[in-house]
Amino acid sequence: MNLFALYIITLVSSFCSLAYQILIAHFLTEQIDIYIISQTTTFGIYALACGLGIIFFNQGQRDIFKFFLKIEIYLILSSFIIPLTFVLCHIFFNIFLFEKISQIFSIPIYYTEKSMLFLLAQIGVFILGFISGMEISSILKIKDKLYHSETKYIGLIFCAGYIGGLISSLVVPSVFVVHVGSLIGFLIVGSINLIFLLLFFILFYYKKWISRYLIYYGFSLSFFLGFLFLMSPGLFFKLENYNLKVMYSQVSVEKFNSNSFKNAHRMIGMLGDVQRFRSLYQTIDILDANFNSKILYFFKKMDFKILAKEKHPNFYLFLNRNLQFSSSGHKSYHESIAHAPINVTGHTPKNILILGGGDGILIKELLRYGKDIKITLVEIDQKIIDLSKNHVLMKSLNQNSLSSSQVTVIIQDALQFIKYTKNTYDAIYIDIPFPSNYNFMRLYSKEFFFNVNRRLDQDGFMIIDTIKLDMEDHKIQSKILINTLISAGFKKNRLMGFGDTNHFIIGIKKDKKMEFDYDNIGFFETNTLLNLRPVTDFDKIPIDADSVHSLYKPKWFLHL
Amino acid sequence: MLSATIGNTFFCYSLTIGVFILFLGLGSASFDWIPRKRINFLNLAFIEIIMSINGLVGIYIITKSSLFYGSELFWIIALIPTIICGFFSGLELPFLIGLAPKKYLKVFGLDYIGMFLGAFLFPFFFLSYLGIFISSFVVAFLNFIVAIFLLYSSKGK
């Protein structure tokens, strides 16, 4: 019985401690959206702290059971306190600190925010990792004490640890993060840890019920239960939304006193809720008309100058905290991507492939070319398709285009689809987010563009929305993108970049002069015309095989 | 351990990591059935050599396995290197501990610190400067060096 109990304890504790790490990594990614760095650094620091925890474990413990219980209590306590501190610090820093620090060091406010959150999360994960390291050591020592041998059953204990890790790495990202979010995830994992502590009590201490340990730890335990009660999910949800509101509105005050904090709190209270939807692939935030114009302030700071000129914002859609479109900007964006390549090439496509673009607005624009065009939409995320079909706001924007009989929706990874499809298309629209995480980076790779090129008809074109094609500020990114496109078979003279607020690259297969036909502006509205500005200095980009982004040799599109 | 660090929410990665960890578990569980006298440097060197060969051949197998895409065979072939890697990595750690039972917490702690190095070096150095194929060769070579070192020290005893 004791051995079995030890396995269960190992399994649960390994599940919980790895779950804490995964949740912190996800929480950080949600806040700062630098996926690769967040995930790898958080895991790295966690492993380091675990290692240190094990190495510095004091071997001379007199009562290992007591020590283990103490460690568990520290772990549970930190699992509640760390995320809470993280959120409260985020809110507090947003209101009081970020702007001031940015002014002192004259750096953009989101740099300050990202780096401070990053630091906070690493401190948190270090503490959790260190305690977890101590926990693992205690379990092993308990085993030694029970069986008087260092090597006996060690393999099975490790096995239980790995299985706990396995469950954690499968369940946490796909269930907890998707369905309840990382903050509530902490609450659940913390509770599992708490129940497991009770189990430990009963299994190992049932004979000594009225021991002094029970009085000592019973007090701590009831403290946790009370704490848990206070931290009821409703409160966590509220806190999470409050945090989101602060994040998007960027309310900040000049003076550091309670009065100004009260004012800020009142201001945040006036804002409408942020509607957050989660899927396996992204978090979708919709700020609708209720979320009032305070948000403009945010855009001023983010250097979204054009958007900030708008007087009456209505809504914004963010994917992983990156603005996808707003009520004012979406027209110019979607008209540019839909009609510009047709204007430039003079070729109206009949058989169109759209990769990404699950919001359906691009389809709405393309359906204006008549009843005889056929559109295939490949989108990885069912959630965004559901939202586009059912959310009132989204439906009004895309005029329910996804339900049109001319449209076929395929839920699949675009990289896979383009690799294995047998069809060819006379237009391929690539409407995917910026390559900020590994999954999106795969879609900016040589292999992806090679297959796009292969699936394109001789007269066809492809268009991709891209990072700012600025040869000065975004030099490295532009260099990587252009070199990748060239290595995938698009010749330099068959590529054309354009844009002002949004940037795009058009690629064709035949040699043909590409320029805008300004006499024939078709479906463009006046605002969009500003965006039709060719980027002419492609020639300045050196051809460099080392700047090619490939699946097998990725180049990071760093944008810290 | 290196491959566990590029964790991702996607099914492909979940599957790979899931299978990897599962076989890590099976590998370490199987340690308990190994007779005590078999636990020596020579056999650890043998494990290291298997892992380094697996590292070299595995990448080739995974690349070629896409020929079978669409059938169940694809997953079976693509996962074989992962299974081998997981099983022997799982076996490796208790083996090391079995060799140094008195200092096992130190060994275990260093294993985690190795993981930390892997987590940082793999995505930022190996992948971007060397690419997946050369990285795999380098890591396999590291394993091979360990094996040679172990053979040398087992000879000394």
Q: What is the ipTM of this complex?
A: 0.77
* B28 → closest Cβ in A133, A162, A550: A162
> Taking CA A46 as the corner, what is the angle to CA A43 and CA A52, rounded to the nearest 5 degrees?
145
Count of positions (residues) in chain B: 157
Burial class of residue A310 (count of CB atoms within 10 Å of its CB; 0-12, 13-18, 19+): middle
pLDDT of residue A201: 65
pLDDT at position A312 = 47
Mutate to test the interface with B, among A154, A418, A558 (most CBs of B within 10 A): A154
Up-side HSE of residue B13: CA atoms within 13 Å toward CB? Answer: 14
Contacts by B100-108, CB closer than 8 A, 24 or more apart:
B101/A150, B101/A151, B102/A150, B104/A140, B104/A150, B104/A154, B105/A54, B105/A55, B105/A57, B105/A59, B105/A137, B105/A140, B106/A55, B108/A54, B108/A136, B108/A137, B108/A140
Query: Closest partner residue to A51 among B28, B116, B122, by Cβ?
Result: B116
- Put simply, the answer to whether A53 touches B69 (Cβ < 8 Å) is no
Quick one: pLDDT at residue A355? 92
CB pairs under 8 A between A and B: 148
- Sort out which chain B residues have CB atoms less than 8 A from A39's CB and list them: 7
Question: Could you tell me the CA-to-CA distances from B51 to A69, A331, B78, B136 in Å, in that order?
Answer: 39, 55, 16, 11
Chain A, window 168-187: residues with a beta carbon less than 8 angstroms from a chain B beta carbon: 169-170, 173-174, 177
In A241-373, beta strands by DSSP E: 275-278, 283-287, 316-319, 322-326, 351-356
B54 touches B81 (CB < 8 A): yes
Q: In sequence order, what DSSP letters do the residues of A390-440 get, joined into one string?
A: H-HHHHHHHTTGGG-TTEEEEES-HHHHHHH----EEEEEEE---S-SHHH
Chain A neighbors of B83, CB-CB under 8 A: none
From residue A191, how far is each of A186, A227, A231 by CA, in Å? 8, 11, 11
> By CA distance, what is A43's nearest residue in B?
B119
- Report chain A residues whose CB lies below 8 A from the CB of B82: none
8 Å CB contact between A514 and A341: no
Quote the pLDDT of residue A425. 93
**Comparing C-alpha atoms, which of B113, B102, B118, B108 is closest to residue B28?**
B108
Is the CB of residue A550 less than 8 Å away from at least one CB of chain B?
Answer: yes
Query: What distance in Å separates residue A430's CA from the closest CA in chain B?
Result: 21
Q: In Å, how far are A39, A46, B40 from B115, measured between CA atoms?
A: 14, 10, 24
Q: Which of A59, A159, A174 sits opposite B28 (nearest CB)?
A: A159
- As a three-state string, the secondary structure of B79-113 is HHHHHHHHHHHHHHHHHHHHHCHHHHHHHHHHHHH
Q: Both tokens of residue B100?
A: 């140094």
A555 contacts on B by Cβ (under 8 Å): 128
Rounded to the nearest angstrom, the gap between the alpha carbon of residue A108 and the centroid of all alpha carbons in its chain is: 21
Number of other residues whose CB lies within 10 A of the CB of residue A560: 10
Both tokens of A364, joined, read 């709405």
Is the Cβ of A61 closer than 8 Å to some Cβ of chain B? no
Interface test with A, best of B12, B69, B82, B116 (most A CBs within 10 A): B116
For chain B, 157 residues long, give each residue's pLDDT as a single digit of tens. 333 333 334 556 667 777 777 888 887 777 777 766 666 677 777 777 777 777 777 777 766 665 555 556 666 776 777 788 888 888 877 777 777 766 777 777 787 888 888 777 777 777 667 766 777 777 778 878 877 777 777 665 4
pLDDT for A64 equals: 78
Using alpha carbons only, what angle is made at residue A211 by residues A207 and A215, rounded to the nearest 5 degrees? 130
User: So what's the pLDDT on residue A35?
Assistant: 73
Contacts of B24 in chain A (CB under 8 A): 162
Q: Which two tokens stand for residue A371?
A: 């009843």
pLDDT value of position B152: 75
Per the CB < 8 Å rule, is B116 touching A165? no
Report the side by side order of strands in the sheet with A283-287.
A275-278, A283-287, A316-319, A322-326
Q: Which of A51, A159, A552 sits opposite B131 (nearest CB)?
A: A552
What contacts A526, CB < 8 A, 6 or more positions away? none
Testing the interface with A: which of B17, B112, B122, B127 to mutate, by most A Cβ within 10 A?
B112
A326 close to A316: Cβ distance less than 8 angstroms: yes
How many angstroms away from the CA of A54 is the closest CA of chain B? 5
- For A420, nearest residue in chain B (alpha carbons): B69
At residue A559, the pLDDT reads 46
Whether A153 and chain B come into contact, CB under 8 Å, resolves to yes
Which chain B residues are Cβ-neighbours of A48 within 8 angstroms?
112-113, 116
Contacts of A77 (CB under 8 A, 6+ apart): A224
pLDDT in the model for residue A208 = 56
The list of chain A residues with pLDDT below 50 reads 1, 210, 294-312, 559-560
Taking an 8 Å cut-off on Cβ atoms, the answer to whether A48 and B133 are in contact is: no
Task: Select from B13, A482, A444, A389 the least CA-distant residue to A377.
Answer: A389
Share in percent of chain B as helix, strand, coil (round to 5): 90, 0, 10
Residue A435 distance to chain B (closest CA, Å): 15
Contact list, A51 vs chain B (CB under 8 Å)? 109-113, 115-116
CA distance A272 to A252: 18
Of residues B102, B125, B147, B98, the one with CA closest to residue A40? B125
Q: Find residues 81-140 of chain A whose CB sits inside 8 Å of chain B.
A: 133, 136-137, 140
Residues with Cβ within 8 Å of A169's Cβ and at least 6 positions away in sequence, in order, are A18, A22, B7, B14, B17, B18, B21
* CA of B42 vs chain A CAs: smallest distance (Å): 19
